[in-house]
Structure 1
Amino acid sequence: MHRSIVRTGIAAAIASVLLQLGGCGSGSGDSGTSSSSTAPATTTSIGGTVAAGSALVGASVTLIDATGAQVTTTTGAQGAYSLSVKGLTLPFFIIAQDAGGLAAPLSSVVARLPTGSAPAVANVTTLTTALAATLTASGNPIELASNTTLAKVTLQSVQLATITLDTIITNLLTQNGLQTAGFDPIGTAFTPDHTGADAVIDSLSLVTGANGGRTLVSNAAPGTTVALNNTTAQGVALAASPTAANYLEPLAALLTACAANGALNSAACAPAIDASFKESGSTDLATAHGLSETTMTGAVFGSPKTLAFFTRNGKQLALVQLPFTLASGVPGVLYSIAQPLATPVTLAGGTQLGWDLIGDQSSFAVAIRSHLQRRTYLDTRLNDVNRYEAGLDITIPTASNPNVYSASVTGPGLAAPVWLMPRAASGNSTLGLADSALSAPPLTPATTASNTALYRWSWQSRSSTASFTPPTSTGFYAAQALDASTVPLYSTYMVTFYDKNGAQLGQSSVINPGSPLNAAAGDSIPWPTLLMNDATTQFLTPGTTLADAQYALSVTWSGLVNDGLNLAYPVTSPGIAATASASGSVTQVNGFAVGAANNPTAGQYQATISAGVDSAGVQTCTNCPFPALTSGGSRLIQLGGARDGTAYIDITQYND
C-alpha cells in the first residue's frame, strides 16, 4: 500500500517539473515528434562527459538506437565524447566501458533530442547508469542494449526515473549546491572537477546487488542501499558525505611522485603514506598487493575513490579505491584504508592534506573479496551440472606467510569457521580451502585436495532440467545455501592464523571491497567466451592427441557480448587445473599464463598457460606437466579476472 501511494505521488509530481526535464538542452525527453507550433529537432550530434569518481579518458562509447543501429567513439580529455546521430531513431541507449574494463560499464538513456542545431548533452556517469537501471525490471541497465527493450522506453518513464533518482540523492544535491527538484543528470553539462554534479558522483557508488541488479549507496552510510529497478520508489534519501569530495585528491600526485622513484612506503612517500602504515603484512603499498617496486615504477595514480566511511576502535576511517596506470599502459586498482591526520599537512602550493593511508594494519598477507563463477561441463557425469556459484575468494599467499600453515575465517555469511591449509596440488602459491569440515587447526603434514580458495555460499543450476546438490561435509561449500542480501556491504572478516603445530600466530581484520552475491547474479554478468578451437577441444577430450600430458597450452577467448560490445570483465588470470588418479595416488597440477594476453583481433585474446607456473609467474615445480586426461582424472580451463572488488571466474571442465 505504501509503495502504491508513493508511486502515485511521483506521477503527480511530473507536472511540476515537466518544463525543467523537457526543455531545450536536456538529454532526456520524447522521441522528437512535435506539434505544428514547435520547430522539429535538427540536432545531429550528441555528446557529454563520461565519469565515475574521475573522468574516464580513452573509454569506449557506443550508442545504440531503437532499431539496433550502433555508432562508436572514444572519450578524450576530461572524459568528453561526441557522436553523430543523424538518421538514427530515438530512444538511444549509450554504454561506456573504461579502457581497462576494471569497472562495470556505465549507461545512459536519451528519449528526446532538443530543437535547434546545438549538440545534445548526454552524460554517461554513475548517476545516469542508476537512472537507466530504474527503467528495467531486473535493475541491470545492459538490458537496454536490446533494441526491443529499448524501444519501449518513453519520455514519461525517463522523467519518472529522474524524479525518483533526484529524491534518493536529494541530500547530496543540496550539499553540493544543486537544485533538488528537476535536476537532470543526463542533460546537465558539468566539469569533472570534484565539485557540483561531479561531487555527487564522487560520493556515490553503484554496486552489483545480490541477484545482479544495480544498487546505489552513499559512502557516508554504506549500510543503507537502494536497489534500482522499475519499482524503485522514493522511500530512502541517501546520506550526504561527511567530507568534501576532493578530500583525498592530493594523494594522487603524491603517490605518483613516489612511484616515479620505485617506492611506495612511508619513508619515501610521506605524507601520503603514514609512518605506521601496514597492509597484508607489508609496510610497502605495492608489495602489500603482490606488486613489485619494479612493476610500479612510473605508475600514475588517478583520483582516489572513497567506497565507505566507517569507525573502528572509536576512530573514523575510510575504505578507498586507488586507480593507477602502469608505465606500460596497463591499468589497475588497489584497495586500502585511509585515516584523518591529527594535524593537516600543507603541501607545495598551499594544498592541505588532511588524510593519509594507514592500511589494514594486518601483520599477515591476506585478502578477501566476493566471487562469482560460471561452470560449464563437457562431460555427462551425474552431478556435473552447468551452474553458477558465489561466495568469497580468500587469498592467503604462502610465500608471504612462511610460518602460516593454516587459517580460519569467521564473519558475515559464514555459519561456521572456514578453514584453509596447504594444497596437495603443484603450481599454486596460496592456501586452499579444507576438503572436509574441520573443528581445529590441521597439523603438518596434512594437505587439502580441494585445490580452490573459492568458498561457495550460493549455487544455482543453469539448466531447466537438472539440479545441483553440493557434496556434503566439504570445507568449501556452505552446509546450507545463503541469501547474500543478508550480508552487509563491505563486511569485515576475522582471520586467525596457525603454525604447523596448531599454535595460534595472530589475527587480522579484513574488509571485503566487493558486493556479496547470490549465484543468481550470474545471469546478469557479461561473461567472456572460451573459444573451443582444435587445441582446446582436444585438451579437454579423452583419447585425443592433446589428452596426453602437456607442459603448456595456448587458449583463446572473446570478450564480445550483446551484439559485438566488448563488455566482458578483463581476463587477467587464465589458468588450467589438471588432476590424475592412478594406483591410489592423486596428482594435481595447476598453471597460469604469464604477462598480458595478446589481442590479435578486436575483442579476442590469446595466452599460453604453462604447467607449474603460479599466478605470480613463478615456476613452482620442475618436470610437472599437466597430467594426461584419463579415467578418474579431470581438466579445467579458467578465465579469471576482477571488476569492482569482485573476482569472476569462468570455468570449462571435463571430468573423466
Structure 2
Amino acid sequence: MYRSSVRTALAAAAALAFFQLSGCSGGGSSSTASSGTQTVTASSVSGTVASGSPLVGANVTLIDATGAKVSTTSGAQGAYTIAVKGLTAPFVIVATDAAGLSTPLVSVLARLPNGTGPAVANVTTLTTAIAAMLTASGNPIDLTASTALAQVTLQQVQIATITLDTILTNLLAQNGIQAAGFDPIGTAFTPNHTGADAVIDSVLVASAPSGGLSLASNAAPGTTLLLNKQTGLSTMLAAPPAAANYLEPLATLLTACAASGTLNTSCSPAIDAAFVENGSNDLATGHNLPDAVFTGAVFGSPKTLAFLTRNGKQMAFVELPVTLASGNIGGVLYTFVQQLATPVTLANGTQLGWDLIGNQSQFAVSINSQIARRTFLDTRLADVNHYESGLTISIPSALNPTVYSASVTGPGLAAPVWLMPRNAVGNSLLGISDTPLSAAPVSPAVTNSNTSLYRWSWQSLSSTASFAPPASTGYYAPQSIDASTVPPFATYTVTLYDKNGALLGQSSVVNPGSPLNATAGGTVAWPSLLPDFATQFLTPDGSLAGSQYAMSVTWSSLVNGQNLAYPVTSVQIQTTGMAAAGPFEVDGFSVGLPNNTTFGQYQTTVSAGINSLGVQTCVNCQFTPLLTGNSRLVQLSGAQSGISYYDITRYND
C-alpha cells in the first residue's frame, strides 16, 4: 500500500515549533531564520556516507546555490570532507557508490553554523528521504539544478526533518533515540549498525511506482509512504523484529568460506545443510557464478529488505554485498536467511541466530522490475518514443537444460506469461511468447519476440502522438495496469515444462525491485548514445550501416553536468533481417566493464554472436546491414536496487 499523506499547515506549524523547542538544527545552525542565499564563511563540510554500511570510495559532490561544484571521495567508514570557502548556501550533496549498485544518496545543508568551524552533513538513506520531501516530484536529484536548490530554506529542511522523525518514532525508540530533536543530517554517527545507523539499516528508501522515492520499514515493507512536499505525519513505520546487527556474524563466516572456495553446504554454520539457491547448494553457482570468482572475496554486512514468515519459520529476504579479492565490487546477491531454532555459539563467543537457507528453487529463474526508454530514429508512424515498465523474466537455457518453456503468474499479471526458446543467435535466455498461449508449447516451437521483458505500463514521450502497443502479443499486458497495486517484494509462481510439454516443476520467485509505472521513466537518470555513433550505426546512410562483425559503442552518463545516470553494465546490439526461411536475428553483447574515456563518457565493444554470458554462439556471424525490411537497436542496460534499466535506441528500415 502506497500512502501519500498531506502535510497540512497546522502539522507544519506544530512541527516547526517542536523543532525550535528541541534545538534541532536541520543540518545547519540553531537559528530558525530562513536561509535564502548567503556567503559562506565556514571552512568545510564533513560527514558520513552510509546506507547502513558505510560507502567507501563513493564520489561525493557538493553543489552550491549558484551551481558551483566541488567533489571528493569518501574514505574509511564513509567519511568525507569538502572545503566550501567562497561557496554559497544552500548546498546539495550527492554521493554515488563506486560500483553504482544503488541509486545516489542526497543530503541538503540549508546553512552553515556561525563561525568558521566545520559543518556536519551526513549523506544517508535518511537524508535522502528528507531531500525528497523538499521536492514536488519526490526525486531529490531535482535539487542538483541550481534554480531548485536556491529556493530551499532552513525552515523547509526543519519541517521535513521533524516529519521524518515522527514517521520513524518506533524505529528511533527501538535504538535508544528520542524522536524529538534527532537530526539525521547534522548529527555525527558511526556506521556500526547501532544507534542512528541501526535506523538507517531498518528503513527502505526505494523508487516509487510513478517516480520519485518512497519510504518503508523492512518490518512491514507493504506499508509505504510516498516522499515529496506533501508527505505528512499520519503514519508511523513499524520497528523490525530483530536488532539491526542480527546478521553481522554471517559476513565474517562467508568471507572465511570464500577464502577456501567453499560457499556451499559445507560452509557451516553460515550456510544451512538444506540450502538451495536456483537449483544449486552452492551460493556462487546458484547466482550463475563460478566459485573461483569469489575466492578471497569479502562479504559485507547483509541488508535486510523484508522480514517474513514461511511455513511457520521466521525468515528474511536479504541482499549480500560482495567485494572481490581484486578490490572490485562484485555486486549484491539476493537470498533468504532463516532464524535457527537454537543459536550456534561461535569460537569467539558470538551467537549466530540465523543462517542462509536460499530461495529453495530447483530451477535457475530470476524476476525483477524493469523500466525502459525506447527511442526511434526512423519516421514510421507506429514508432513513437515512449517509456514502458514491467518485469524482466530471466530463465537461462544453459542453467536449465531440461526446460523448454515456462509460465509465470503473480501480482500485476492478468494472465500467465509464457516463455520459450528464441528464434535468434547470441541470446541464451528464454524469450516471451509473441502470442498469448493457453498451454505449454512443444518442440520445435520458438518465439520471434526475442525479449524477456514483460511490459505492463507504457507512456508516450510525444506531445503529438500516442503509443499503442501491438495487439495480442504475449509480452504486453492486454491493458496498462497501475503498478502501485503490486506489493513490494511480490512473489511469482514459475511453472516449467520440458520439450514435450510435460510438467517439470514450480518455483516461487521474489522480485527484489520496486514495481514501476511507465511514468517513473520521467525521473530516471538515463544514459544516452553519443550522437556520432547513433548516426553512423543506426541510420541507413550512416558510415557503419553495412554488415559488421563488431562495433565500438559510445555513450554519455551526464545528467545536469553530473555523472548520475545508472551505470551501464551491459550493452546489447540486436539486428533483424529476412531470409528465405523467414525472419532471423543476430544479437551481440559486450564483455567486461566499459572503458571510461572521459568524465561521464564510456566505450565498449560488442561482437556479433557473443551472448550475455560472453560465449560465442556462432562463427563468422555479422550484424545485419540496415537495409529495407531490416532493423537495428542498441540497448544500454544496468541495474540498481533490484530494478533493471534499459535505454533502447532503434531504427526500423
TM-score of the superposed pair, with normalisation by structure 1: 0.96
Q: Amino acid of the residue matched to residue 445 of structure 2?
A: A
Name 1:291's counterpart in structure 2.
289
Q: Distance in 2 between matches of 1:427 and 1:31?
A: 62
Structure 2: runs of 5+ lacking an equivalent: none
Q: How many residues align?
A: 647
For 2:171, what is the secondary structure of its paired residue?
A: helix
For 1:78, what is the secondary structure of its paired residue?
A: helix
Name 1:431's counterpart in structure 2.
430
For 2:565, what is the secondary structure of its paired residue?
A: coil
Name 1:618's counterpart in structure 2.
615
Asked whether the 8 Å contact 1:316–1:339 carries over to 2, the reply is yes
Match of 2:299 among 283, 289, 301: 301
Structure 1: runs of 5+ lacking an equivalent: 35-39
Q: Distance in 1 between matches of 2:280 and 2:30?
A: 50
Q: Offset at 1:314?
A: 2.2
The 1:396/1:48 distance shift into structure 2, 3 A limit, reads same
Could you give the per-residue CA deviations for residues 115-148 of structure 1, whole angstroms, max 9, x where no partner exists? 2333111100010000110010011000111111
Asked whether the 8 Å contact 1:209–1:517 carries over to 2, the reply is yes
Name 2:556's counterpart in structure 1.
558
The 1:276/1:29 distance shift into structure 2, 3 A limit, reads farther
Q: Tell whether 2:197 aligns with 1:202.
A: no
Could you give the per-residue CA deviations for residues 558-593 of structure 1, whole angstroms, max 9, x where no partner exists? 222112x11111111111111001346112011101
Name 1:13's counterpart in structure 2.
15
Q: Tell whether 2:531 aligns with 1:529.
A: no
Asked whether the 8 Å contact 1:22–1:29 carries over to 2, the reply is no
Q: Distance in 2 between matches of 1:21 and 1:552?
A: 63
Q: Tell whether 2:630 aligns with 1:633.
A: yes
Q: Amino acid of the residue matched to residue 479 of structure 1?
A: P
Q: Amino acid of the residue matched to residue 601 of structure 1?
A: T
The 1:23/1:650 distance shift into structure 2, 3 A limit, reads closer
Asked whether the 8 Å contact 2:35–2:154 carries over to 1, the reply is no
Q: Tell whether 2:574 aligns with 1:572.
A: no
Name 2:589's counterpart in structure 1.
592
The 1:447/1:184 distance shift into structure 2, 3 A limit, reads same
Could you give the per-residue CA deviations for residues 514-563 of structure 1, whole angstroms, max 9, x where no partner exists? 000001111111111211335x4322122445222211101011222112
Q: Amino acid of the residue matched to residue 242 of structure 2?
A: T
Could you give the per-residue CA deviations for residues 21-59 of structure 1, whole angstroms, max 9, x where no partner exists? 45598478667979xxxxx98522111111002000000
Asked whether the 8 Å contact 1:139–1:228 carries over to 2, the reply is yes
Q: Distance in 2 between matches of 1:150 and 1:451?
A: 44
Q: Offset at 1:211?
A: 0.8
Name 1:63's counterpart in structure 2.
62
For 1:310, what is the secondary structure of its paired residue?
A: strand
Q: Offset at 1:239?
A: 0.3
For 2:342, what is the secondary structure of its paired residue?
A: strand
The 1:12/1:454 distance shift into structure 2, 3 A limit, reads same
For 1:399, what is the secondary structure of its paired residue?
A: helix
Q: Distance in 1 between matches of 2:295 and 2:120?
A: 39
Query: 1:126-525 to 2 correspondence within 5 Å?
Result: 126-267=125-266, 269-331=267-329, 332-525=331-524
Of 236-245 and 6-15, more deviation after overlay is shown by 6-15
The 1:323/1:407 distance shift into structure 2, 3 A limit, reads same
Q: Distance in 2 between matches of 1:165 and 1:422?
A: 49
Of 109-118 and 56-65, more deviation after overlay is shown by 109-118
Asked whether the 8 Å contact 1:560–1:568 carries over to 2, the reply is yes
Q: Offset at 1:256?
A: 1.4
For 1:18, what is the secondary structure of its paired residue?
A: helix
Between the aligned residues of both structures, percent identity stands at 66
Name 1:37's counterpart in structure 2.
none
Of 414-423 and 565-574, more deviation after overlay is shown by 565-574
Asked whether the 8 Å contact 2:441–2:501 carries over to 1, the reply is yes
The 1:257/1:149 distance shift into structure 2, 3 A limit, reads same
Asked whether the 8 Å contact 1:30–1:111 carries over to 2, the reply is no
Q: Distance in 2 between matches of 1:95 and 1:596?
A: 24
Q: Offset at 1:295?
A: 1.8
The 1:328/1:530 distance shift into structure 2, 3 A limit, reads farther
Asked whether the 8 Å contact 1:579–1:587 carries over to 2, the reply is yes
Q: Distance in 1 between matches of 2:151 and 2:35?
A: 16
Query: Alpha carbon RMSD of aligned pairs, Å?
Result: 1.8
Q: Distance in 2 between matches of 1:10 and 1:634?
A: 55
Of 517-526 and 574-583, more deviation after overlay is shown by 574-583
Asked whether the 8 Å contact 2:40–2:88 carries over to 1, the reply is no
Asked whether the 8 Å contact 1:27–1:122 carries over to 2, the reply is no
The 1:637/1:29 distance shift into structure 2, 3 A limit, reads farther
Could you give the per-residue CA deviations for residues 345-364 of structure 1, whole angstroms, max 9, x where no partner exists? 12231111111111110000
Q: Amino acid of the residue matched to residue 158 of structure 1?
A: V
Q: Distance in 2 between matches of 1:199 and 1:359?
A: 25
Q: Tell whether 2:641 aligns with 1:644.
A: yes
The 1:33/1:107 distance shift into structure 2, 3 A limit, reads closer
Q: Distance in 1 between matches of 2:646 and 2:5?
A: 38
Asked whether the 8 Å contact 1:17–1:181 carries over to 2, the reply is yes
Asked whether the 8 Å contact 1:130–1:206 carries over to 2, the reply is yes
For 1:599, what is the secondary structure of its paired residue?
A: strand
Q: Distance in 1 between matches of 2:556 and 2:338?
A: 41
Q: Distance in 1 between matches of 2:5 and 2:305?
A: 29
Q: Amino acid of the residue matched to residue 600 of structure 1?
A: T
The 1:204/1:376 distance shift into structure 2, 3 A limit, reads same
Q: Offset at 1:324?
A: 1.0
The 1:272/1:7 distance shift into structure 2, 3 A limit, reads farther
For 2:289, what is the secondary structure of its paired residue?
A: coil
Q: Distance in 2 between matches of 1:25 and 1:464?
A: 41
Q: Amino acid of the residue matched to residue 207 of structure 1?
A: A
Q: Distance in 1 between matches of 2:41 and 2:103?
A: 33
Q: Offset at 1:308?
A: 0.3
Q: Amino acid of the residue matched to residue 538 of structure 2?
A: L
Could you give the per-residue CA deviations for residues 313-355 of structure 1, whole angstroms, max 9, x where no partner exists? 2222101011111223332111001101111112231111111
Name 2:603's counterpart in structure 1.
606
Q: Offset at 1:257?
A: 1.6
Asked whether the 8 Å contact 1:65–1:89 carries over to 2, the reply is yes
Q: Offset at 1:155?
A: 1.4
Q: Distance in 2 between matches of 1:378 and 1:233?
A: 44
Asked whether the 8 Å contact 1:32–1:41 carries over to 2, the reply is no
Of 481-490 and 339-348, more deviation after overlay is shown by 339-348
Q: Offset at 1:281?
A: 0.9
For 1:335, what is the secondary structure of its paired residue?
A: strand
